[in-house]
């Protein structure tokens, strides 16, 4: 039986995902979908399990990439219940302390007043039994004693208030009892250590499955996910396309003309909040927005030249420069939006690429695979597609995908497959939410499209069609 799985992995720092469809040797289909959404704190949940009309198992799961139990909604419910317990206990404790302190003080006052109270009580009984025994002097003495006892009225009034406080505490304790019962039911229903181990195992299996999928053909682009609104109309932002997923740094480069300032954020969460960043000041200004971070280095086009620059973040230095022979620059062959976008560097599952054109190619897009250590061109393909007619372009699994516009209504219109040197026209729409895309790059590590759209940093998940062949 084939297995259909919808997989959504949610975490703020990554905010990316993979959609895939598999054709097994028997012709049955498997589908894996993952997508990340900012701000979500949902944990692993099995939404539904069922069989489709063809008898295939269908299961929908939502799974976080890390902090599994912390993001589990049941764990969150327990945390909220615990906070309520703490608040309730705090209220009860403080109220009890106040009542106890006041009661101790008032009780001592009553004890000190007891002889006087007994004396007044005796005098009153005597005067009631024998009214003639009441003299002016005796009446004055009785009034004096009564004046001394008058503070007892406030004590009695305070006792009435304390009775109300105790009634409130009774309600608090009843609420506490209900909450503790709920916690007991939650804890009793789930063995969290066992759940966490099962979740870790499932996550490992899902990632292993994703790695087995490898490359695929683009068949769909998700709705946009706006991560942040910052910077000018043009710019680029990215995560490293190659390093391990444990490195969650984000880089931002505002503008397309003579920029030198690169902001490095520690995590995606820091990027969304605009905090915890360091600044790199490049020795050479950049041109365009076609930059890429690959294996710890920034690769970019040097301003007013066709020179490619490799800037190493850790050493904060330029380690390599090389001319991309024949490539147009300085708005000779830009994308349709201009912006000195003559040379677009990008990375996919197969390596580092340059997308550009030259006069001998009559302005058609050239795709060259680069050696990241030397920036030497390893192989080039002439796609035949005019670069000025392209809104943006990106590589997935060795295939160049080109959009027909940078404005609203754009779609993925053209695909060139370097493995077969063939092309096709496609019709893959996507929502250009802010109507002016000046950067669109695929990240193979996170399998999502990063875009800079009119001062907004936006992500798209992608759907990839996979064919898996096995020996029986």
| 342 in the same domain as 286 | yes
Q: What is the mean pLDDT of residues 51-59?
A: 46
| 168 in the same domain as 230 | no
Are 116 and 225 spatial neighbours (Cβ–Cβ below 8 Å)? no
| 333 in the same domain as 414 | yes
242 domain residue, yes or no: yes
| 130 in the same domain as 236 | no
**Residue 468 confidence (pLDDT):** 54
| 231 in the same domain as 109 | no
Number of domains in the chain: 2
| 460 in the same domain as 380 | yes
Strand ranges (E), 296-455: 297-301, 307-312, 317-323, 344-348, 351-356, 364-370, 377-386, 393-396, 399-403, 411-417, 422-429, 437-443, 448-453
pLDDT confidence band for 204 (50 / 70 / 90): confident
45 domain residue, yes or no: no
CATH number at residue 222: 2.120.10
**Residue 197 confidence (pLDDT):** 80
Domain extent for 401: 217-465
pLDDT confidence band for 50 (50 / 70 / 90): very low
How far apart CA 454 and CA 443 sit, in angstroms, is 20
| 189: pLDDT strictly greater than 70 | no
Q: What is the mean pLDDT of residues 330-334?
A: 95
Report phi then psi at 391, rounded to 5.
-75, -50
| 243 in the same domain as 121 | no
Predicted TM-score (pTM) above 0.85: no
| 350: pLDDT strictly greater than 50 | yes
Name the domain boundary from 125, 156, 191: 191
442 domain residue, yes or no: yes
| 353 in the same domain as 429 | yes
**Which range among 5-9, 119-123, 183-187, 288-292 has the greatest average pLDDT?**
288-292
Mean pLDDT (the chain) is 78
Strand ranges (E), 36-104: 45-51, 57-64
206 domain residue, yes or no: no
| 312 in the same domain as 428 | yes
Are 467 and 22 spatial neighbours (Cβ–Cβ below 8 Å)? yes
54 domain residue, yes or no: no
199 domain residue, yes or no: no
């Amino acid at each position: 039986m084939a297995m259909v799985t919808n997989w959504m992995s949610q975490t703020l720092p990554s905010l990316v995902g993979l959609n895939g469809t598999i054709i097994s040797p028997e012709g049955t289909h498997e589908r894996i979908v993952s997508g990340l959404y900012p701000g979500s704190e949902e944990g692993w949940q099995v939404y539904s399990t069922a069989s489709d009309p063809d008898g295939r198992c269908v299961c929908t799961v939502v799974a976080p990439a890390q902090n599994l139990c912390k993001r589990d909604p049941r764990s969150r419910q327990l945390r909220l219940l615990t906070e309520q317990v703490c608040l309730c206990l705090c209220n009860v404790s403080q109220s009890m302390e106040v009542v106890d302190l006041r009661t101790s003080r008032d009780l001592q006052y009553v004890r000190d007043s007891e002889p006087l109270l007994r004396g007044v009580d005796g005098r009153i009984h005597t005067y009631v039994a024998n009214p003639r025994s009441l003299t002016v002097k005796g009446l004055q003495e009785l009034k004096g004693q009564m004046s001394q006892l008058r503070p007892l009225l406030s004590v009695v009034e305070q006792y009435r208030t304390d009775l109300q406080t105790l009634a409130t505490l009774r309600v608090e304790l009843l609420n506490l009892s209900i909450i503790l019962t709920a916690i007991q039911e939650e804890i009793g229903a789930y063995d969290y250590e066992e759940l966490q181990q099962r979740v870790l195992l499932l996550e490992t299996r899902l990632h292993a499955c994703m790695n087995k999928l490898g490359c695929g053909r683009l068949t769909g682009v998700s709705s946009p996910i706006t991560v942040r609104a910052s910077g000018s109309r043009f710019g680029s932002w990215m995560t490293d396309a190659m390093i391990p997923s444990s490195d969650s740094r984000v880089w931002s480069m505002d503008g397309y003309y003579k920029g030198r300032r690169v902001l490095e954020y520690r995590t995606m969460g820091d990027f969304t909040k605009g905090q915890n960043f360091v600044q790199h000041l490049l020795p050479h200004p950049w041109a365009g927005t076609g930059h890429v971070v690959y294996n710890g280095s920034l690769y970019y086009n040097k301003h007013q030249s066709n020179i490619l620059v490799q800037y190493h973040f850790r050493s904060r230095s330029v380690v390599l420069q090389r001319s991309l022979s024949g490539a147009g620059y300085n708005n000779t062959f830009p994308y349709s939006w201009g912006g000195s976008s003559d040379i677009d560097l990008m990375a996919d599952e197969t390596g580092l690429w340059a997308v550009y054109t030259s006069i001998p190619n009559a302005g058609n897009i050239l795709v060259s695979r680069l050696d990241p250590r030397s920036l030497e061109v390893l192989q080039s393909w002439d796609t035949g597609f005019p670069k000025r007619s392209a809104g943006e372009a990106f590589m997935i699994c060795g295939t160049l995908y080109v959009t027909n516009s940078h404005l609203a209504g754009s779609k993925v219109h053209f695909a060139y497959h370097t493995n077969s040197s063939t092309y096709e026209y496609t019709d893959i729409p996507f929502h250009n939410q802010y109507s002016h895309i000046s950067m669109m790059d695929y990240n193979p590590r996170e399998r999502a499209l990063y875009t800079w759209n009119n001062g907004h940093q936006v992500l798209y998940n992608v759907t990839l069609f996979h064919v898996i062949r096995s020996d029986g």
